Amino acid sequence: MKILVCISHVPDTTSKINFKDNDTKFDSNGVQFVINPHDEFVLTRAMWFKEKQGATVTVVNVGNVSTEPTLRKALAIGADDAIRVNAEPEDGFFVAKQLAEVAKNGNYDLIMAGKESIDYNGGMVPGLTASILDYNFVNACIGIEVEGNKATVTREIDGGKEVLETELPMVFGGQKGLVEDKDLRIPNMRGIMMARKKPLNVIEPVAFENTSKSIRFDKPVVNTTCKLIDPENVGELVDLLHNEAKVI
Partner 1 sequence: MSVLVYAESSDGKFKKIAFEATSYGKKVAEIAQTNMVVLTINADDASELKNYGAEKILTVNNDRLNTFNAKAYADVIKQAVEKEGADIVVIDSSSNGLYLAPLVAGSLNAGYASNVLDVPESVSPFVVKRKAFSSKANNHSELTTNIKILGLAKNSFGLVESAGAGAEENFEPSLEDADFRITSKSIDKATGKVTIADADIIVSGGRGLKGPENWHLIEDLGEVLGAATACSKPVADMGWRPHSEHVGQTGKPVTSNLYIAVGISGAIQHLAGVNAAKCKVVINTDPEAPFFKAADYGIVGDAFEVVPKLIDKLKEFKQNQ
Ligand X SMILES: Nc1ncnc2c1ncn2[C@@H]1O[C@H](COP(=O)(O)O)[C@@H](O)[C@H]1O
Minimal distance in Å, beta carbon 24 to ligand X?
19
Cβ distance to partner 1 smaller for residue 65 or 163: 163
Q: Do 177 and 45 meet the contact criterion of CB atoms below 8 Å apart?
A: no
Going by C-beta distance under 8 Å and a sequence separation of 6 or more, which residues neighbour residue 222? none
**Crossing angle, helix 125-133 and helix 92-105, to 10 degrees?**
50
- Other Cβ atoms less than 10 A from the Cβ of 234: the count is 10
Minimal distance in Å, beta carbon 210 to partner 1?
6
Cβ distance to partner 1 smaller for residue 189 or 228: 228
Going by C-beta distance under 8 Å and a sequence separation of 6 or more, which residues neighbour residue 177? 41, 142, 156
Q: Which option in ligand X, partner 1, none does residue 57 bind, with CB closer than 5 to 8 A by kind?
A: none
Cβ distance to partner 1 smaller for residue 51 or 239: 239
Minimal distance in Å, beta carbon 102 to partner 1?
17
Minimal distance in Å, beta carbon 72 to partner 1?
23
**Chosen residue from 1, 31, 124, 203 binding ligand X by CB under 6 A:** 124
Tell me the C-alpha distance between 144 and 42, whole Å. Answer: 10
Q: What is the distance, to the nearest Å, from the Cα of residue 146 to the centroid of all Cα atoms in its chain?
A: 21
- Residues 60-119 touching ligand X, rule: CB under 6 A, are 60-63, 89, 92, 95, 113-114, 116-117
Tell me the C-alpha distance between 246 and 47, whole Å. Answer: 50
DSSP string, 87-100: ----SHHHHHHHHH
Q: Which option in ligand X, partner 1, none does residue 62 bind, with CB closer than 5 to 8 A by kind?
A: ligand X
Minimal distance in Å, beta carbon 193 to partner 1?
29
Cβ distance to partner 1 smaller for residue 123 or 187: 123
Q: Phi/psi at 218 (nearest 5 deg)?
A: -150, 180
Minimal distance in Å, beta carbon 166 to partner 1?
4
**Chosen residue from 19, 26, 48, 120 binding ligand X by CB under 6 A:** 120
Cβ distance to ligand X smaller for residue 78 or 89: 89
Tell me the C-alpha distance between 53 and 69, whole Å. Answer: 28
* First-to-final CA distance of the chain: 54
Minimal distance in Å, beta carbon 199 to ligand X?
17
The answer to whether 46 contacts ligand X (rule: CB under 6 A) is: no
Cβ distance to ligand X smaller for residue 207 or 248: 207
> Cα torsion at 94, 62, 123, 133 (round to 10°)?
60
Contacts with ligand X, residue ranges (CB under 6 A):
6-8, 36, 38-39, 60-63, 89, 92, 95, 113-114, 116-117, 120, 122-126
